Every structure is written in C-alpha cells, then in structure tokens.
C-alpha cells in the first residue's frame, strides 16, 4: 500500500499539534458544540411548502464523531447546511459553540462560518487551477491572515493529512483520495469547532473511502468534532454515534460501533 499510514503515531502527534488551538480548549467545557432546539426548515415552492426539517432537537458535544444517515430527501444536507451556517432555520434555535446563530444572516453568518466550521464535500470543491497549498490556504484569506502565515499553516495542514509531498500539485494531478485529503486539510486549517462532511466518501472507491474515514477518525481521536453524512452502513459503522433522519424528522439516535477504519483499510489491500 503506497498511501501513508494515516493512523500512525507520527500522524496522530502531528494532528494533535494542529488541533491544540481553539478546538482542544473547547473539549474540556460543558458547553456543547451544537445545540438545536425545535429547529425547522421549510421551503416555499410553486407546488406548496416543503418541510425539509421538522422540530429537530439535537445536542452534540465537543469531540463527538457522528454519522448522519437516512433516505434521499430526508433532510441530511439541509441539516448540514444549517449546522454549517450556510443557511438559516425557518423556526427554532441554534447555539454553535455558545453563540446564538439562528437569526444571523449574510456577513455575520459568513464570519461565524469561517471561524467555526470546516466543510468537506462529496465532490471535493477544490479550485482547479490552484495548487494544493493555495487551496488549503484559501479560508485564511477570508480570515485576514498574511500570506506567509497562510502558506505556513496550509503546509502544516497538508502534512497532517499525509500530503506534504504534494504541495504544488493541482487537483487534476492528484487522485480522488488525495483530493479529498486536500479538502480535509482545507477544512482543518482554521482549527474549526466542527468538521462537517456531506458524503465525503460518496465519490471514492472502497479502499480510498477507508483511507479518508481513517483520516477523519484520527482527527476525531485527537479532539476534533466531526459530523458526516453517509448512505452506507459500513461507513456509518466507524462513528461513535449514528443519527437517522426520515421525512425531515430525527428518527433514531444510537451509539455507533466505532469500528477502526485504519484496521479495515490495512486489511483491504
Ligand atoms: N432549495 C430548495 N427548495 C425546495 N426544496 C428543497 C430545497 N433544498 C432541499 N429541498 C427539499 O428538502 C428535502 C430535503 O432535502 P435534502 O437535500 O436535505 O435531502 P438529503 O437527505 O440530503 O438527500 P440526499 O441523500 O439525496 O442528498 C427534499 O425533499 C428536497 O427536495
Ligand atoms: Mg444530501
């Protein structure tokens, strides 16, 4: 297997170095990272109202590793968008790391998103003409950090995800799994309170999915709070908690098997 062993001690030590900022200090406090009360999100369409989320009550503590499951259209992405401050609820309250965010919009919401949230998407969403380093440094531009420091932090984040030797590659010069690891480095670079990953393995083959899940699990073991959406029970089985949505409602909230993704990955080859 030519991929770096991302569950290795070295990677863990490096990641815990990266996480030793805001996130680590959140871990000891009683304030949950996410507190949703009576949250709803409806869309008005020509054919009537669509109730994408109905009366969602959910608390996620710092350091949790949560899988979100449910059929297509059940509200998973709507939830991720709300939790990630890309969207605002129709009714209900949302407290993110102690801050009430449900009534914020526009710039205020964007500022919180930039400070608190790291996103990982199914299709990676990397800038095609930019190098891995520039892609990862991008969120720091919006955070107002100088160029030298941006590149230093971006390089550190790429080292954490095992891509220290691919800094100047563009997305087209990287494999799917490597592109997703660049996206994870970009999500990490601001030391977010939460990483939100909407089907992070949806575009990847099985072995590559395992390596991406192993990386997310390593980050979580070092204190990073992670929520990820998946359609696959095998992928959800790496979580310590599994939440299932149906028709916009939170239907089930159960402990997950917390399987070790690195072990599955090394058995796969
Ligand atoms: N902008 C929108 N306008 C109208 N309806 C919407 C909008 N976005 C989502 N919906 C509806 O809200 C419901 C929930 O959608 P959502 O994208 O959250 O589902 P999902 O669980 O992520 O599904 P999938 O597994 O297919 O990604 C669906 O019925 C969808 O059609
Ligand atoms: Mg979705």
Report DSSP letters for 55-124, one per residue: EEEEEE-TT-EEEEE--TTSSHHHHHHHHTTSS--SEEEEEETTEE-TT--HHHHHHHHHHHEEEEETT-
Domain extent for 189: 9-30+62-85+114-268
Rounded average pLDDT over 117-144: 94
Rounded average pLDDT over 98-119: 92
Higher pLDDT: 89 or 105? It is: 89
Whichever domain contains 21, its CATH number is 3.40.50.300
Within-domain flag for 124: yes
Within-domain flag for 231: yes
Question: Count of domains in the chain?
Answer: 1
**Of 96-105, 134-143, 167-176, where does the model show the most confidence?**
167-176
pLDDT digits (tens, 9 = 90+) for 195-222: 999 999 999 999 999 999 999 999 999 9
Within-domain flag for 47: no
- So what's the pLDDT on residue 143? 85
Within-domain flag for 106: no
- So what's the pLDDT on residue 269? 63
Phi, psi of 41 (to 5 degrees): -140, 115
- Which numbered ligand comes closest to the C-alpha of 52? 1
What's the pTM value of the predicted model, to 2 decimals? Answer: 0.88
Structure tokens that stand for 5 in this block: 């062993």
Distance 76 CA to ligand 2 centre (A): 6
Distance 91 CA to ligand 1 centre (A): 17
Within-domain flag for 254: yes
- So what's the pLDDT on residue 36? 98
Q: Measured between alpha carbons, how far is residue 87 from residues 7, 20, 37, 94, 108 in Å?
A: 34, 29, 16, 11, 12
- Residues linked to residue 228 through DSSP beta bridges, in sequence order: 67, 197
């Amino acid at each position: 297997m030519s991929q770096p062993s991302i569950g290795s001690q070295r990677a863990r030590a490096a990641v815990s170095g990266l996480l030793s900022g805001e996130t680590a200090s959140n871990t000891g406090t009683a304030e949950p990272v996410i507190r949703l009360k009576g949250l709803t999100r409806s869309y008005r369409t020509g054919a009537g109202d669509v109730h994408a989320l109905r009366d969602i009550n959910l608390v996620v503590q710092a350091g949790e590793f949560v899988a979100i499951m449910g059929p297509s259209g059940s509200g998973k992405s709507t939830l991720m968008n709300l939790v990630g401050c890309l969207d605002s609820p129709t009714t209900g309250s949302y407290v993110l790391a102690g801050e009430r965010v449900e009534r914020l919009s526009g710039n205020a919401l964007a500022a919180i998103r930039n400070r608190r949230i790291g996103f990982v998407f199914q299709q990676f969403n990397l800038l095609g003409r930019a190098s891995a380093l520039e892609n990862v440094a991008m969120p720091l531009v919006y955070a107002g950090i100088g160029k030298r420091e941006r590149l230093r932090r971006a390089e550190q984040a790429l080292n954490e995800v095992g891509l220290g030797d691919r800094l100047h590659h563009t997305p087209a010069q990287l494999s799917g799994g490597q592109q997703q690891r660049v996206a994870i480095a970009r999500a990490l670079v601001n030391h977010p309170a939460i990483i939100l990953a909407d089907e992070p393995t949806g575009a990847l083959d099985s072995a590559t999915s395992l390596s991406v899940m192993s990386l997310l699990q390593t980050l979580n073991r070092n204190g990073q709070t992670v929520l990820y959406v998946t359609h696959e029970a095998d992928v959800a089985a790496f979580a310590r908690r599994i939440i299932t949505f149906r028709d916009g409602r939170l239907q089930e909230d159960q402990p997950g098997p917390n399987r070790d993704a690195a072990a599955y990955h090394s058995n796969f080859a």
